[in-house]
Each structure stands twice: as structure tokens, then as C-alpha cells.
Structure 1
Amino acid sequence: MKSNGLFFILVLFLTISCKDSSQKETPVIDIVEETRTKEEVLIERKEKGIAKFYKRSVNRKGDTLLPYIPQDSVEVFFTRYGKEHPETIVRMTTSFGDIEMELFKETPLYRASFLFLINNGYFDETVVHRAVKGFIVQAGNSDNMITAQKKGSAGNYQLPMQILPGVQHSYGTLSSAKYWENNPENWHNPFDFFISLRATDHLDGEHTIFGRVIKGMKVAEAISKVETDSRDWPKNDIYIEMSVVN
């Protein structure tokens, strides 16, 4: 009887130990996953997949191009990119001087896209391609083949229009360009931007305003006065360099 009692105690001890062990081995991830929706988990996986897959490409001449961004991944990609790059101040350097701009946090996709293009060297070799005194200075394009190749390598992605309540085109606002014809959904061109030199009511509600000039409007005014051709393209190229300040 004594040996049977010891055997019973031993079995009971092993049973309790197994229960404790199984409880300790419960994966923490299972507990965490229960507090997240299936959609949140899928979005995170897609974000990580995009960040890992989309790398910069190179053309035949060895020029570095842009990562390819499929249109259906634009929102996910730039939402993640914006989280990783919180900067809001950028600088445009020209032969006329520097212009510093603040990017609005309220237009997150536009801020992230602009930073992405700067960080990946898109604006290298681009110029001020429209200058109208007392109206706008527009930049981000050129007639160089490399510019078209960079856009193409990125998939010529577009951004959905985002109009901020109460924000209107005025002196120093920074806006995104768009195609006015055959564009019923009002997609905006992220590669092309303009600085307003006055209030332009007819552009309100038509173009996304995603920033403002905080320093260098005299430079913008000087550029707007240069001699241009019939398309308002400056006769002497004004190349720009873009950099992230902070």
C-alpha cells in the first residue's frame, strides 16, 4: 500500500508538471494576434513584402532609376514609407538661390511620396519647366530621357486627390500638378509640383495643396520673371536639386 501511495503521488506530480509546462510554452504571438484584426495583420505583411521586394533599378547606361511601385500598392507603400521617414522640411536649390518648403502632415501620401522621390534622386536633372510672373513656378520635369525613364521605372504611379478643408491656393503654397484632360478621377502627378505666387481661386478644389514655402519666396519670384518660350518654359534651363532638411 505504501508503494502504491508513492506511485500515485508521483503520477500526480508529473501530471501537474506537464500542465505547467504546456502553459509556459504557449506562444506569446498567439495572445498578441488575438488583439489584432485579420485586416491589420494582412496589411502589415503586405507592407513588409513591398519594402523587401521593390528595389531601385538601373538602365543600360548605368543610371540609377526608381523602385517600381504598382498603382494598387501606392497607399500601402507610402503609408509605411511615411512612418519610416517623418521629415517635413525640404530644400530646393537653384542657380537663383534656395527655397525651403514645409510638407503638410495632413497630406501623408503626398509628403511620403515627395520624400521618396527626393531620397531616390528623381529630381536630379529636372528643371523649372514653367515660370509665369505673378502666377506660378512649376518644376519636376525635363526633356531629358533619364527623367522619363525614372518615371517609367516607378510605374508612373499617381496619387489620389486630397483637398484639405479651409486650405486655399495663396502666396507660397506648394501643390501637385495633374492632367486636366481624360482624368475623371482627378489623379495627381507626384513628380510635378508648383509654387503659387498669388491667390488662385480657380485652382482651389482642383489641385492638392501639400505644403508651403517657409523661406525663399524672393527666389521663386525671381525665377518667375525669366524669359520663357510660348509654353512658359524658361529659355535657359534652371536645374533644381532637392534635399531633405529635417
Structure 2
Amino acid sequence: MKKILTLTLLLFITAIAFAKPPKNQYVRISTSYGSVIIRLYNETPLHRDNFIKLAKKGFYNGVLFHRVIQNFMIQGGDPDSKDPAKAKPGDELGNGDVGYTIPAEFRDSLFHKRGVLAAARDDNPKKASSGCQFYIVEGKRLSDAKMDSLENGRLKGYKIPAWQREYYKTVGGTAQLDHSYTVYGEVVTGFDMVDHIAAVKKDERDRPLTDIPMKVDVLSKKECKQLDKLLSRGS
């Protein structure tokens, strides 16, 4: 009897262990230029959960990367961009939305380093994010002098931590956007896609001359666990 109870307990414990959710949620953004896998930050749950909700609905499938600036970022998520009547060649995009905003979730540990996913927004005093539009930072390396200038200007006295300065100097990013736009994820594989898209020919509004539609998939729990394990080995 004891052996049966022990075996039952072991099976129960094993079942619980396998039922544990992954530490992080990952999504895949695919285009004709390749794909990226992005880890959504647990530190920004409102943005994370909203992105997952829209992606599961298929909201982003067919939406364009409608604004690209090399050494800065690539932006997408405007629902109007997948409407042929509103997205003819030369039409201005970037004004479409979902009718709600997400409260800002600024975190000192999350900054605009190369490869982060962040929320676009209009000019509003609370710096609330668009409910659907986002950008991925390509960025560039910044000098100490440039960061000093930002601290005295656009960042309004905010001091960039030394460890973040080092990252901006050696890897790059867009420090001028820190504490103004919410960062809520980062590319973990496939960054070449971002570089390729950022380099395409575009019009005077920074819209690519050839449309770049996307497809967004929410990875399964099994895939997320595998990525957690793989990435933890490399950290």
C-alpha cells in the first residue's frame, strides 16, 4: 500500500512540475525579410497581456511595417495599413488604432537598447501607449557627449545609469526615448530582420516603397519553456 501511495505522490508531483507555466511569453513576428522571436517582459504586464490578446485574435496578421528609419526603429501595428482602401501607395499611415490606450509602465531597468520592443503613442500628458502600434529599436551607438546632451535636454535631467551608458556606447539604442515610451519586450533571435527592414527604400514619410506585411504568432507553452531553458544557458 505504501509503495502505491509513494508512486501516486511521485506522479502527482511530476504532473505539477510539468504543469508549471513558462517563465516568459514569447511571440514570433514574421515578414518576407525573415522573422524575430521576442520575449515579452513580465515587468510590463499591461503591455504584455494586451499584445498577446491582439496577437491571438490575429489582429496583427497583414498589418504593415509602415514607418522605418535606419539607425532608429521600425514601426508597425496600424490596423488601417491592412485596409487596401486606406493603404494605397503614397497614403499616410500611422493614425489607426483600437480605441483605447495602455497606461505607461516605465521601469528603470528597462531601456531603449538595440532590439527592444516598445509602444508607440500620440502626444498625451500621461504618456499612455497606443493600444496596438509598436516599434522595434535598431538604434546606433551613442557617445558620452551625446548622452550628456540628452540628460541636459530631451531627458530633462534624468541620469542614464552607468551600466546603461556602457550598453548604449558598445551596442547601441535610442536613449532619447527613455522614460517617454514604454519598453515591453526584446528580440532574442533573428535581429537581421530588423536591420534589413530598416534599410529598405522609403518615401518622404518613411513608409517603405514596397509594402512589408507581418504575421504575429504567440508561441506555445512548450516552445516558451524550451526558449527559457535555451536562453538561460547563454546568460
One fold, TM greater than 0.5? yes
Distance 1:172 1:201 in 2: 13
- Check conservation: 2:98, 2:131, Cα contact below 8 A: no
Distance 1:223 1:190 in 2: 23
Any stretches of 5+ residues in structure 2 without a counterpart? 1-20, 87-96, 140-172, 225-235
CA shift, 1:144, in A, is 3.8
- Check conservation: 1:85, 1:112, Cα contact below 8 A: no
Distance 2:83 2:23 in 1: 32
Residue deviations 1:176-224, cap 9 Å, x none? Answer: 00002xx112111021111111221210000000000001111110010
Q: Which residue of 2 aligns with 1:193?
A: 134
Q: Which residue of 2 aligns with 1:108?
A: 45
Name the Cα RMSD after superposition: 2.3
TM-score in terms of structure 2 length: 0.62
Distance 2:83 2:218 in 1: 25
Code of the aligned partner of 1:143: S
Distance 2:127 2:49 in 1: 19
Q: Which residue of 2 aligns with 1:224?
A: 198
Corresponding residue pairs, total: 156
- Check conservation: 1:126, 1:147, Cα contact below 8 A: no
- Check conservation: 2:24, 2:42, Cα contact below 8 A: no
Code of the aligned partner of 2:32: S
Counterpart pick for 1:121 among 58, 63, 67: 58
Distance 1:201 1:158 in 2: 23
CA shift, 1:125, in A, is 2.1
Any stretches of 5+ residues in structure 1 without a counterpart? 1-83, 149-153
Alpha carbons of structure 1 residues 147 and 126: separation in structure 2 relative to 1, 3 Å:
farther
CA shift, 1:165, in A, is 1.4
Structure 1 runs, 4 residues or longer, greater than 6 Å off: none
Residue deviations 1:106-131, cap 9 Å, x none? Answer: 10111100000000111122010111
| Structure with the larger helix share | 1
The structure, 1 or 2, with the larger RCO (C-alpha pairs under 8 Å, 6+ apart) is 2
Aligned ranges 1:140-155 → 2 under 5 Å? 140-141=77-78, 142-145=80-83
Max Rg structure: 1
State the identity %. Answer: 29
Q: Does 1:235 align with 2:209?
A: yes
TM-score in terms of structure 1 length: 0.59
CA shift, 1:166, in A, is 2.7
Aligned ranges 1:127-206 → 2 under 5 Å? 127-141=64-78, 142-145=80-83, 156-180=99-123, 183-198=124-139, 199-206=173-180
Q: Which residue of 1 aligns with 2:3?
A: none
Aligned ranges 1:67-78 → 2 under 5 Å? none
